[in-house]
Amino acid sequence: MPRLSPTDIEQIATLARLKLTDQEKERYASQLSVVFEYMEILREVSVDDISETSQVTGLEDVTREDVPIARSDEVKRKLIAAFPERVGNLLKVPAVFHENLESRK
């Protein structure tokens, strides 16, 4: 692949909606050209006899069945009664986006 020019980088930057200085365009042209040259070298490596793999350690995820714990109505009532603020059976918690709500008023 031919080396990238600052004009190529400018076009890529425009597509990515980036504003680059002339110095950045020169630097990125040089750096990306090196990356693409290395990719060309890697392209020459034969991988025909290599099987696909996502990891090489042989480890597997350990999982367990997710079993909900049955709670009696009495336990539910005690939990709701112990909550500091509530409206009926609904538990009242502080607003997560409290600052944003205040600025809208």
* Predicted confidence (pLDDT) at residue 105 exceeds the cutoff of 70: no
Q: Where are the domains of the chain?
A: 6-43, 73-104
Query: Phi, psi (5° rounding) for residue 86?
Result: -155, 160
pLDDT tens digits for range 10-49: 999 999 999 999 999 999 999 999 999 999 999 999 988 8
φ/ψ of 104, rounded to 5, equals: -85, -15
Exposure of 50 in the CB half-sphere (CA atoms within 13 A) = 7
pLDDT of residue 34: 93
Q: Could you tell me the pLDDT band of residue 98, with boundaries at 50, 70 and 90?
A: low
CB of 85 within 8 A of CB of 91? yes
For the residues 55-80, what does the mean pLDDT come to?
85
Q: Is the pTM of this model over 0.75?
A: no
